[in-house]
A and B are shown apart, each in its own frame.
Chain A
């Protein structure tokens, strides 16, 4: 085939070659799209922070999340050992929106399943794995280095309320998260608890939720309601149970002494004393105590410490320590009891005594001396025979000739003692026994025998004379009853039998009455249809309607 025979296509005019092709829109779009993705991913990654923890238990780099109120706000990028090799450092990439989490006082902790006194928490992490919880702080400054908590914080920043400090000599079973009550209502919790630096007391921080934090005033007292309070003392057995939760978890309760006047709400972080129980908290606060020493010649059961010291029936103090001693002069043992008493618990009596002493220019020990001269003695008394509890009573006895002198020791006030009441009891029991001995049991027995004999004689008489008469009476009564029964039978025959005369006459009367009523109805019907008959008389041949 030669060239000339080839068909010639319809030629399109050539496009302008200089203009760039529209296809360049594609890379433009790609640029915009890739740029948008880059911008988006840049803005979705927030700041990177580093958190130090004791252990990396449960957290994994690239996997574990950071959650605020259970909303994921970041991811743990990596977990590394700290330079000191004692901690781990979790590097966390927060999301852009979570930048506010970097406040300097934000708190981080690892959320794991926990069973604690305040309940069970973090069960969800059993399935989802541990995550890092965060509590956003309020500080303006930001930070990218944080020290993680080992336990979730007791109180998070978003809770409304007030914190107070407590000092306790014994925290009992209290622990962080233990509830705080007022009138047995849970209004807060123990947020922190740690041993004071001196190792003698426990410092606590409690958090009271708003609006109940206003209930804490400057005169409020806190006490421990942990567990069961079983007290066995002079007043007997006393069991006080707070709520079941606080039996298990321990608890703190607060309130105001009824005697205290209203006071303004306490400022945040005010320090209070945590009393060991409600009883102690409500007691009038003690002022300066006095150390009193007493020498007893009777042994104390147990160690004696904590035994009440009472005066005028008021519990004014407790025995602190007992130490036995030996007096080689009299070759006897004695027991020195040292008590701490708060004499102002006597109230007005104490005030008057002090006033009197001041008026006559007597010093404190001299006032005591004058009391001792008037017969003030310490005596061991049994308060409860069942439990064998005893107490020390400061009471006045008739002054004896050989009253011991008050020995003055530095800062110690000595009170002489009287023989314990237990010895007196022994004496009384002995005298009772003597009296029992004197009772003429033999003669009494004889008398009782005589009386019994007389009684049996009397009964024999009764048998012989009274019983036959009674028997006669009973027989006659039987006859009378028979007669009564006969009369009743006759009456029944006359009245109740169907063919009795009374029945028949009654029936006849009733039938007649029935007929009369029938006629009366016929008349009434007639009158209703022919009222004129009352005037004109009965129309001839007009049978009343309905009658036969």
Chain B
């Protein structure tokens, strides 16, 4: 199979003008003057960096308190896991499952999948290339949904402020959690799925 890269031609991402880039990796499109790149620049490095940062933030995001609720006569400091446990024990198992999926499952799956993608690509593996491509597409789609937790806390904080009777405040884990979500999105965005096939071809 012949790729555009092999023939030295690349399409401008912006105006779809097909240009002859030759052996160069980057140029300016003669029609729209937007940058024309053969592949996303430094895709692997960026993806690795963002993934590492996301993984680092993942620890405080789960260890620290994400939401502080005061509802007389009780007050609670919940981490993500203790919040899910509380939901489960108080009978809202459906909500518990939802929050678990959005806040625990999705970030873990994202981190793990990105890791798998990066490692296999680094190794120029030809293992299940189609499945890996599909995985990448799924990652891009579900990425947005894991912001759910952040939205829940932000929304509750804004709505539940009934003086001293009820109060919700974000905890210190919220920012690391948002960081995990954003960084995984950046990581998956910087990764270039074409590399899955590039590297394999070259080998």
Q: Which residues of chain B are near A12, meaning CB under 8 Å?
A: 24, 26-28, 35
Cβ of B46 and Cβ of A21 under 8 Å apart?
yes
Instruction: Quote the shortest CB–CB distance from B171 to chain A (angstroms).
Output: 11
Cβ of A9 and Cβ of B28 under 8 Å apart?
yes
Cβ of B73 and Cβ of A128 under 8 Å apart?
yes
| Chain B 28-69 near chain A by CB (<8 Å), digits 1 or 0 | 111100011000001001100110111011011001100000
Q: Which residues of chain A are near B176, meaning CB under 8 Å?
A: 33-34, 37
CA–CA, A24 and B46, complex, Å: 7
Q: Which residues of chain A are near B183, meaning CB under 8 Å?
A: 26, 30
Q: Which residues of chain A are near B77, meaning CB under 8 Å?
A: 62, 75
Question: Given A27-B49, A37-B176, A41-B63: A63 and B27 within 8 A (CB)?
Answer: no
Cβ of B45 and Cβ of A129 under 8 Å apart?
no
Question: Given A3-B20, A14-B25: A129 and B50 within 8 A (CB)?
Answer: no
Instruction: Quote the shortest CB–CB distance from B154 to chain A (angstroms).
Output: 19
Cβ of B53 and Cβ of A27 under 8 Å apart?
yes
B-contacting residues, A14-50, CB 8 Å = 14, 20-21, 23-24, 26-27, 29-31, 33-34, 37-38, 40-41
Question: Given A30-B57, A129-B73: A11 and B24 within 8 A (CB)?
Answer: yes
Q: Number of contact residues on A: which range applies?
A: 20 to 34
Residue count of chain B within 8 Å CB distance of chain A: 45
Q: Number of A-B pairs whose CB atoms are under 8 Å?
A: 107
CA–CA, A3 and B172, complex, Å: 58
Q: Which residues of chain A are near B76, meaning CB under 8 Å?
A: 62-63
CA–CA, A14 and B75, complex, Å: 59
Q: Which residues of chain A are near B21, meaning CB under 8 Å?
A: 9, 11
Cβ of B52 and Cβ of A10 under 8 Å apart?
no
Cβ of B49 and Cβ of A23 under 8 Å apart?
yes
CA–CA, A52 and B43, complex, Å: 59
A7 at the interface (CB under 8 A from B): yes
A6 at the interface (CB under 8 A from B): yes
CA–CA, A193 and B4, complex, Å: 95
Cβ of A6 and Cβ of B46 under 8 Å apart?
no
Question: Given A27-B56, A37-B172, A41-B172: A9 and B30 within 8 A (CB)?
Answer: yes
Cβ of B74 and Cβ of A129 under 8 Å apart?
yes
| Chain A 464-486 near chain B by CB (<8 Å), digits 1 or 0 | 00000000000000000000000
B18 at the interface (CB under 8 A from A): yes
Cβ of A7 and Cβ of B31 under 8 Å apart?
yes
Instruction: Quote the shortest CB–CB distance from A36 to chain B (angstroms).
Output: 9
Residue in B26, B36, B60, B64 whose beta carbon sits within 8 Å of that of A14 in the complex: B26
Cβ of B18 and Cβ of A6 under 8 Å apart?
yes
CA–CA, A37 and B74, complex, Å: 26
| The 4 A-B residue pairs with the shortest CB-CB distance in the complex, in nearest-first order | A9-B27, A30-B53, A27-B53, A27-B52
Chain B residues within CB distance 8 Å of chain A: 7, 9, 12, 17-22, 24-31, 35-36, 42, 45-46, 49-50, 52-54, 56-57, 59-60, 63-64, 72-77, 82, 172, 176, 179, 183, 190
